[in-house]
Structure formats: C-alpha cells, structure tokens
Structure 1
Amino acid sequence: MLYVPEDHSVDKPAMLVVMLHGAGGNARQGLGMLQDVAETEGFLLMTPESRAPSWDLIMGDYGQDVAFLDQALDQVFSRYAVDPERVVLAGFSDGASYALSLGIINGDLFKHIVAFSPGFAAPRDSHGAPRLFVSHGDKDGVLPVARCSRRIVPQLEAAGLEVRYHEFKGGHVVPPEIVGEAIDWLNAAGGR
C-alpha cells in the first residue's frame, strides 16, 4: 500500500517512509500506524506486506520479500518525487528487526532506519552510514528489552553506527509520543 499526501508535488521531492509490519501483520497495520503523521508531515508512506507470515529473513534467509520490496520501490520512484536523501526504512517488532538488518545492508539507499521494538539485527555487511532510531518498551512481554534492544543497540554502536535509543515505560506497542519523537528525529536529521 502507498499513501500519498494531498499536497504532494513533483516539484518538491518528499521523504519516503517504508514501514514494515510485525509477524502475522499486514500492510494496513503499518499504514494505520503512520498515515495521519504522513499527511501532517507531508511524506510518502509505503507499507509493503511480507510474502509469508513474517519477513523472509525471520523465516530463514533473504529472498522473495527483498524482490517484492525492490519492485515496489521501483514503482514509487518512477511515479512520485522522492528525495533520495530522505528514504527511511522503518518497522515494528519483526518488521523492526528486518528494517535494521536490511536497512544496514542497504544504508546507501536507506539513510535513516526507525526500529520500534526490534528482536534482533542481523546485517551480513553494511553500505553507507545510516542513522538509527530504536525504541523499546521496558515491559515488553513479546520481545523483552533486556534480551533485545539492550543488546542490539550497543552492538550497533560498536559497529560505528549512530543510534538514538529511547526506552519507554510500556509493553510491545508504539505509543503516539514515540512516533512523534521518531518524526522529530527524522526532521532534525534533514528528514523534512
């Protein structure tokens, strides 16, 4: 699914946020999480859907989801004005794990990565120097923060990546204030 703000113009390239859903989720969930903000902030919002119950890396290796993402991105880039410096890969839960893993590998395309409650990061290599925003609830019962983000973030920083980390009071959710903080972070980084 693709959401295009009402004021989008070919004369003014916009930020593109690619939002990946969690395991068992769908494209509508990613759209619902960010659509209002996309309209207010004026960015394009693409919410692809995994080919299986979760993203291919979580199921074993990269494959059909990467091919699908490539096709979807090609279509968006050919039809809409996208600022190549403001292409963001974001996700929630398994989608956040996939965003970190695939985004770091493709850091020359995805300059910014937003990971809401990731379980892991497993990039095989890295290209570019993407900036990262990671958030996680301190009471997450699905992907416990102690086993996930509290381990992931130091590893990413040790690899030389710039990470903004926010641990909030709550569970396996993305509170509106965390979405707002991520958008503010993107805007401050030239995302607007």
Structure 2
Amino acid sequence: MTTNRKQYATGRLTAVTGAATVEDAFKSGVRRLNLDEKKDGLIYVPHSYDKKQPAALAVMLHGAGAPAENGLSLLQRYADARNIILLAPASRSYSWDIIATDAFGPDVIFIDQALSFIFKYFAINQNRIAIGGFSDGASYAFCLGLTNGDLFTHIIAFSPGFAYAPEKKGKPAVFISHGEYDPVLPIDSCSRRIVPQLQRQGLEVNYIEFRGRHEVPSNISGSAVAWFTGSPSPSL
C-alpha cells in the first residue's frame, strides 16, 4: 500500500471512530497487530470487553529505545476492571519520528493504520479516547494529542520532556506526572514549564509531582486511570 507522507507532515491523523464493521474472533488478552513484520504494535483487549458496551481506548507510547510492551505495561493492570482497550505501537526508529528526525512521518502513519484497525474491529467509547506514554512517549503523546484533540479526548503524560504541536485541534483534557528528582528529564525544565504553557492555551490540566525519579509509580498510574475513566482510584 502506497502512503502519501506529505499528508502527515503536521501530525494529523485520518482514522475516524464509528461502529465496528468487522466481527473479530479474538476475544481477550494480548495480540500483535500484524501491520509490520519487524516493528509491530500490540493490542490488549480486556476480559470485560463486550461490543454492546463500547470500551475506552488508550494509545500508550513507550520511551526511547524501549519495545511496544513497555507502552502496554503502563496501564495493563487496570484494563480488565475499567474496560479499557490498550494500543501500544512500536516506534519505527530508536525514538518517535518528531524526536528522532525533527519531522512527522513513519510513526504517524503507523499509528494511523493501527487506529483504523481498532475502529474497524472494536466498539470504542468516543468520549474516552486517550493517547499517552512515558518519557519520549509522553512527549510524542503531546505532539499527536494536541494536534488531534478532535479525536483524543485525553492525554496522559508520564514524565514528558516537551509539548509541541504545529497544528492544534480541539481541547483534550491533560494528565501530567513527574518525579521531583528525575535525572533524565529534569522537572524544572520539563513539566514545570509545560503545565503553565498548556493552561495558557485554555486546557484543563491535572498535574501531579511525586517524590521520585524517572519512573511511573503504581499510585500515579492508578490516579491517571481514575482520572481518565471518571471513576475512583483502583485498588492494587
């Protein structure tokens, strides 16, 4: 399939939500997307999923140099109880395209294809569609989340480095967490700058600082899920 990369130059996605049109025999658990032989993505379908009750969707992006499994692991422990389908793509290179090459391109295209797959096979709650990630994955989640805020209702950013979008659409709600002693992406030059920038844009920001380093403690990920799903914090 030939893809026109120019149409993705600003990070805009083309996948659209709607009623699932294909019956999928896969019931629950982890599966490969089978969209790429070497750098594929993963999907987790919760045991609670029922096409008659549309699930929330969270696209979770790994940090630099990590596999797709790392993105999946950020929220997987909560997916069954909260009826969340998780999509975890793998970056085409060591990190996400705008970070690695200063331009949108192959990662936007792959994520768009993955989202089209999800919307084709699964019933999704259009009021609960998040994009998120950790570290570079969190930064890239901002890139796509702010650019496609008419698709993504929520952005979940664990320890982001920056929030960049050449083209902004919609006003997604934002969750940010950051460790006070993060040696990789220092909080002063990262989240403490990002938060006021987003607030000046009129975005709703739920911001948590914690006594930790470059990490995602379970109480932080639990708070993010509760915020995203609009339900009490889960017990672990």
| TM-score bucket (shorter structure) | over 0.9
168, 185, 207: which one pairs with 1:126?
Answer: 168
Cα distance in 1 between the residues matched to 2:133 and 2:71? 8
100, 103, 110: which one pairs with 1:61?
Answer: 103
- What SS class does the counterpart of residue 89 from structure 1 fall into? strand
1:7 is displaced (CA, Å) by 2.1
Please give the residue correspondences for 1:147-186 in structure 2 after superposition, counting only pairs within 5 Å: 147-186=189-228
1:42 is displaced (CA, Å) by 1.4
Aligned to 1:94: 136
Do structure 1's residue 21 and structure 2's residue 62 form an aligned pair?
yes
Cα distance in 1 between the residues matched to 2:69 and 2:230? 28
Extract structure 1 runs of 4+ deviating beyond 3 A.
none
1:4 is displaced (CA, Å) by 0.2
Aligned to 1:51: 92
- What SS class does the counterpart of residue 149 from structure 2 fall into? coil
Cα distance in 2 between the residues matched to 1:122 and 1:160? 15
**Match of 1:102, as an amino acid?**
L
Cα distance in 1 between the residues matched to 2:163 and 2:185? 13
Cα distance in 2 between the residues matched to 1:38 and 1:187? 11
1:22 is displaced (CA, Å) by 0.5
Cα distance in 1 between the residues matched to 2:116 and 2:94? 24
Do structure 1's residue 32 and structure 2's residue 76 form an aligned pair?
no
TM-score (norm. length: structure 1): 0.96
1:188 is displaced (CA, Å) by 2.2
Cα distance in 2 between the residues matched to 1:187 and 1:10? 18
Q: Deviations over 1:152-172 (max 9, x none)?
A: 111111111111100110000
1:34 is displaced (CA, Å) by 1.6
Aligned to 2:24: none
1:39 is displaced (CA, Å) by 1.6
TM-score (norm. length: structure 2): 0.78
Unaligned runs of 5+ in 1: none
1:32 is displaced (CA, Å) by 2.0
For the 8 Å contact 2:128–2:229, the answer to whether it is kept is no
1:102 is displaced (CA, Å) by 1.1
Aligned to 2:83: 42
1:139 is displaced (CA, Å) by 0.3
- What SS class does the counterpart of residue 126 from structure 1 fall into? coil
1:77 is displaced (CA, Å) by 0.5
Cα distance in 2 between the residues matched to 1:172 and 1:25? 14
**Match of 1:13, as an amino acid?**
P
1:36 is displaced (CA, Å) by 1.4
Cα distance in 2 between the residues matched to 1:33 and 1:84? 21
Aligned-pair identity in percent equals 51
**Greater helix proportion:** 1
Alpha-carbon RMSD across the aligned residues, in angstroms, is 1.0
